[in-house]
Structure 1
Amino acid sequence: MRARIERNALRGALLICIRTSLTAACLAIATAIPASAEIVASTCRLLSYDGPTTTVETFRCDFMQRGGNVMVNSAEHEFSFLAVEQGETYIRINSIPLRFTRTGEYTLEVTQSPWLR
Protein backbone atom coordinates (compact mmCIF):
# COMPACT_ATOMS: atom_id res chain seq x y z
CA MET A 1 0.00 0.00 0.00
CA ARG A 2 2.80 2.42 0.93
CA ALA A 3 4.61 1.63 -2.35
CA ARG A 4 1.45 2.44 -4.31
CA ILE A 5 1.08 5.81 -2.55
CA GLU A 6 4.73 6.66 -3.24
CA ARG A 7 4.34 5.67 -6.94
CA ASN A 8 1.21 7.83 -7.28
CA ALA A 9 2.93 10.74 -5.56
CA LEU A 10 5.94 10.38 -7.85
CA ARG A 11 3.71 10.12 -10.92
CA GLY A 12 1.78 13.26 -9.85
CA ALA A 13 4.99 15.19 -9.26
CA LEU A 14 6.30 14.09 -12.67
CA LEU A 15 3.10 15.27 -14.41
CA ILE A 16 3.30 18.64 -12.66
CA CYS A 17 6.93 18.98 -13.73
CA ILE A 18 6.07 18.13 -17.35
CA ARG A 19 3.15 20.59 -17.43
CA THR A 20 5.31 23.33 -15.93
CA SER A 21 8.11 22.67 -18.42
CA LEU A 22 5.70 22.67 -21.37
CA THR A 23 4.11 25.92 -20.22
CA ALA A 24 7.53 27.56 -19.83
CA ALA A 25 8.60 26.33 -23.28
CA CYS A 26 5.42 27.65 -24.90
CA LEU A 27 5.85 31.05 -23.26
CA ALA A 28 9.48 31.22 -24.36
CA ILE A 29 8.55 30.44 -27.96
CA ALA A 30 5.63 32.89 -27.97
CA THR A 31 7.76 35.77 -26.71
CA ALA A 32 10.60 34.98 -29.13
CA ILE A 33 8.37 35.39 -32.20
CA PRO A 34 8.60 39.01 -33.30
CA ALA A 35 5.33 40.92 -33.35
CA SER A 36 4.31 42.00 -36.80
CA ALA A 37 3.56 45.63 -37.48
CA GLU A 38 0.61 46.75 -39.51
CA ILE A 39 1.11 49.42 -42.15
CA VAL A 40 -1.71 51.95 -42.07
CA ALA A 41 -2.45 54.20 -45.04
CA SER A 42 -2.48 57.72 -43.64
CA THR A 43 -2.42 61.38 -44.44
CA CYS A 44 0.59 63.42 -43.32
CA ARG A 45 0.98 67.13 -42.84
CA LEU A 46 4.55 68.40 -42.52
CA LEU A 47 5.22 71.80 -41.02
CA SER A 48 8.87 72.73 -41.74
CA TYR A 49 10.42 75.55 -39.75
CA ASP A 50 13.07 77.74 -41.37
CA GLY A 51 13.56 80.71 -39.10
CA PRO A 52 10.44 82.89 -39.26
CA THR A 53 9.15 80.95 -42.29
CA THR A 54 6.95 77.87 -41.91
CA THR A 55 6.07 75.77 -44.95
CA VAL A 56 3.19 73.31 -44.90
CA GLU A 57 2.98 70.21 -47.07
CA THR A 58 0.20 67.60 -47.10
CA PHE A 59 0.82 64.16 -48.62
CA ARG A 60 -0.10 60.49 -48.53
CA CYS A 61 2.01 58.37 -46.21
CA ASP A 62 2.24 54.95 -44.59
CA PHE A 63 2.36 54.71 -40.80
CA MET A 64 3.94 51.73 -39.04
CA GLN A 65 4.51 51.22 -35.32
CA ARG A 66 6.34 48.33 -33.71
CA GLY A 67 7.50 48.16 -30.12
CA GLY A 68 6.94 51.90 -29.70
CA ASN A 69 9.16 52.69 -32.68
CA VAL A 70 7.41 54.58 -35.48
CA MET A 71 8.20 54.72 -39.18
CA VAL A 72 6.37 57.08 -41.54
CA ASN A 73 7.14 56.74 -45.24
CA SER A 74 5.93 58.41 -48.40
CA ALA A 75 7.18 58.86 -51.94
CA GLU A 76 9.01 62.04 -50.92
CA HIS A 77 9.81 61.58 -47.22
CA GLU A 78 10.95 59.00 -44.69
CA PHE A 79 10.71 59.55 -40.94
CA SER A 80 11.87 57.37 -38.06
CA PHE A 81 11.00 57.97 -34.41
CA LEU A 82 12.66 55.52 -32.01
CA ALA A 83 10.95 54.94 -28.68
CA VAL A 84 14.22 55.33 -26.73
CA GLU A 85 14.71 58.83 -28.20
CA GLN A 86 11.25 60.09 -27.23
CA GLY A 87 11.56 63.21 -25.12
CA GLU A 88 15.21 63.61 -26.13
CA THR A 89 15.31 64.17 -29.90
CA TYR A 90 11.57 64.55 -30.51
CA ILE A 91 8.27 65.13 -28.75
CA ARG A 92 5.33 62.81 -29.40
CA ILE A 93 1.78 63.94 -28.73
CA ASN A 94 -0.79 61.15 -28.88
CA SER A 95 -3.83 62.89 -30.28
CA ILE A 96 -5.72 63.00 -33.54
CA PRO A 97 -3.73 63.77 -35.55
CA LEU A 98 -0.70 62.09 -33.98
CA ARG A 99 2.13 64.66 -33.74
CA PHE A 100 5.90 64.30 -33.80
CA THR A 101 7.98 67.44 -33.29
CA ARG A 102 11.69 67.92 -33.69
CA THR A 103 12.06 71.36 -32.12
CA GLY A 104 13.23 74.03 -34.56
CA GLU A 105 13.07 71.62 -37.51
CA TYR A 106 9.56 70.30 -38.16
CA THR A 107 6.29 68.92 -36.88
CA LEU A 108 4.81 65.87 -38.56
CA GLU A 109 1.07 65.31 -38.12
CA VAL A 110 -0.23 61.83 -39.01
CA THR A 111 -3.92 61.09 -39.47
CA GLN A 112 -4.39 57.36 -39.74
CA SER A 113 -6.91 57.19 -42.52
CA PRO A 114 -6.92 57.16 -46.30
CA TRP A 115 -5.87 60.21 -48.23
CA LEU A 116 -7.57 63.39 -47.04
CA ARG A 117 -7.57 66.53 -49.15
Structure 2
Amino acid sequence: MAFIQYLTFDGTQLPLPDSYEVQMEDVEADSGGETEAGTTQRDVVRLGVVSISVSFSVSPKWLKLLTGFKQKEKISVDYFDTQTLEIKKTEMFVEGYKANLVKDTSYKGLWRVSFTLREF
Protein backbone atom coordinates (compact mmCIF):
# COMPACT_ATOMS: atom_id res chain seq x y z
CA MET A 1 0.00 0.00 0.00
CA ALA A 2 1.41 3.39 -1.00
CA PHE A 3 1.41 6.39 1.30
CA ILE A 4 -0.25 9.67 0.34
CA GLN A 5 2.20 12.38 -0.72
CA TYR A 6 1.05 15.07 1.73
CA LEU A 7 3.46 17.87 0.79
CA THR A 8 5.60 18.81 -2.19
CA PHE A 9 7.69 22.02 -2.10
CA ASP A 10 8.82 23.44 -5.46
CA GLY A 11 8.65 19.94 -6.99
CA THR A 12 10.53 18.25 -4.08
CA GLN A 13 8.46 15.53 -2.43
CA LEU A 14 8.78 15.80 1.36
CA PRO A 15 8.96 12.76 3.65
CA LEU A 16 5.90 11.43 5.47
CA PRO A 17 5.07 13.90 8.27
CA ASP A 18 4.66 12.95 11.94
CA SER A 19 1.69 15.32 12.19
CA TYR A 20 -0.34 17.17 9.57
CA GLU A 21 -3.19 19.60 10.32
CA VAL A 22 -5.00 21.74 7.73
CA GLN A 23 -6.99 24.79 8.84
CA MET A 24 -9.07 27.18 6.75
CA GLU A 25 -9.77 30.69 7.95
CA ASP A 26 -11.72 33.62 6.52
CA VAL A 27 -10.03 37.01 6.23
CA GLU A 28 -12.31 39.81 7.37
CA ALA A 29 -12.02 43.55 6.77
CA ASP A 30 -11.74 45.94 9.72
CA SER A 31 -15.12 47.40 8.76
CA GLY A 32 -16.95 44.35 10.12
CA GLY A 33 -18.07 43.94 13.71
CA GLU A 34 -21.18 44.57 15.77
CA THR A 35 -23.75 47.09 14.54
CA GLU A 36 -25.68 49.57 16.73
CA ALA A 37 -28.63 47.17 16.61
CA GLY A 38 -26.46 44.44 18.14
CA THR A 39 -26.15 42.24 15.08
CA THR A 40 -22.85 40.96 13.77
CA GLN A 41 -21.70 42.17 10.38
CA ARG A 42 -18.92 40.32 8.58
CA ASP A 43 -17.10 41.91 5.68
CA VAL A 44 -15.25 38.89 4.34
CA VAL A 45 -12.34 39.75 2.07
CA ARG A 46 -11.27 36.17 1.38
CA LEU A 47 -12.79 32.77 2.20
CA GLY A 48 -10.87 29.64 3.11
CA VAL A 49 -7.26 30.83 3.47
CA VAL A 50 -5.27 27.65 4.13
CA SER A 51 -2.72 27.16 6.90
CA ILE A 52 -1.00 23.83 7.50
CA SER A 53 0.76 22.88 10.75
CA VAL A 54 3.22 20.07 10.16
CA SER A 55 6.09 18.28 11.91
CA PHE A 56 8.70 15.83 10.65
CA SER A 57 11.37 13.53 12.12
CA VAL A 58 14.24 13.94 9.69
CA SER A 59 17.90 13.27 8.97
CA PRO A 60 20.48 16.09 8.75
CA LYS A 61 20.07 16.07 4.95
CA TRP A 62 16.35 16.84 5.23
CA LEU A 63 17.00 19.34 8.03
CA LYS A 64 19.23 21.31 5.65
CA LEU A 65 16.63 21.14 2.83
CA LEU A 66 13.74 22.23 5.07
CA THR A 67 15.81 25.09 6.49
CA GLY A 68 16.48 26.19 2.90
CA PHE A 69 12.75 26.29 2.15
CA LYS A 70 12.21 28.38 5.28
CA GLN A 71 14.59 31.02 3.88
CA LYS A 72 12.52 31.44 0.69
CA GLU A 73 10.02 34.26 0.38
CA LYS A 74 7.41 31.97 -1.17
CA ILE A 75 7.12 28.29 -2.03
CA SER A 76 4.98 26.52 -4.60
CA VAL A 77 3.21 23.89 -2.48
CA ASP A 78 1.22 20.82 -3.50
CA TYR A 79 -0.71 19.74 -0.40
CA PHE A 80 -3.25 17.09 0.52
CA ASP A 81 -6.58 18.88 1.10
CA THR A 82 -8.46 17.23 3.94
CA GLN A 83 -11.84 18.54 2.74
CA THR A 84 -11.75 17.20 -0.81
CA LEU A 85 -9.17 14.41 -0.23
CA GLU A 86 -7.29 15.64 -3.30
CA ILE A 87 -3.96 17.32 -3.98
CA LYS A 88 -4.17 21.11 -4.38
CA LYS A 89 -1.52 23.60 -5.49
CA THR A 90 -0.94 27.07 -4.02
CA GLU A 91 1.79 29.52 -3.00
CA MET A 92 2.69 29.60 0.69
CA PHE A 93 5.35 30.79 3.13
CA VAL A 94 6.86 29.19 6.24
CA GLU A 95 6.46 30.68 9.71
CA GLY A 96 7.20 29.45 13.23
CA TYR A 97 10.05 27.19 12.07
CA LYS A 98 11.55 25.07 14.89
CA ALA A 99 14.24 22.38 14.73
CA ASN A 100 14.94 20.23 17.81
CA LEU A 101 17.53 17.51 18.26
CA VAL A 102 15.71 14.28 19.18
CA LYS A 103 18.66 11.92 19.36
CA ASP A 104 22.36 12.33 18.76
CA THR A 105 23.68 9.71 16.36
CA SER A 106 26.92 9.13 14.50
CA TYR A 107 25.14 10.61 11.43
CA LYS A 108 24.66 14.11 12.98
CA GLY A 109 21.41 13.27 14.74
CA LEU A 110 17.71 12.72 14.32
CA TRP A 111 15.83 16.01 14.15
CA ARG A 112 12.22 17.06 14.81
CA VAL A 113 11.26 19.96 12.54
CA SER A 114 7.93 21.77 12.88
CA PHE A 115 6.45 24.83 11.18
CA THR A 116 3.27 26.34 9.83
CA LEU A 117 2.62 27.02 6.15
CA ARG A 118 0.42 30.02 5.35
CA GLU A 119 -1.25 30.67 2.02
CA PHE A 120 -0.67 34.02 0.30
User: Which has the larger Rg?
Assistant: 1
Q: Which has the higher contact order (CA 8 A, sep 6+)?
A: 2
Q: Does the alignment reach a TM-score above 0.5? A: no
TM-score range, shorter chain: under 0.3
Name the structure where helix makes up a greater proportion of residues. Answer: 1
**Quick check: which one's strand share is greater?**
2
TM norm structure 2: 0.26
Q: TM-score, normalised by structure 1?
A: 0.27
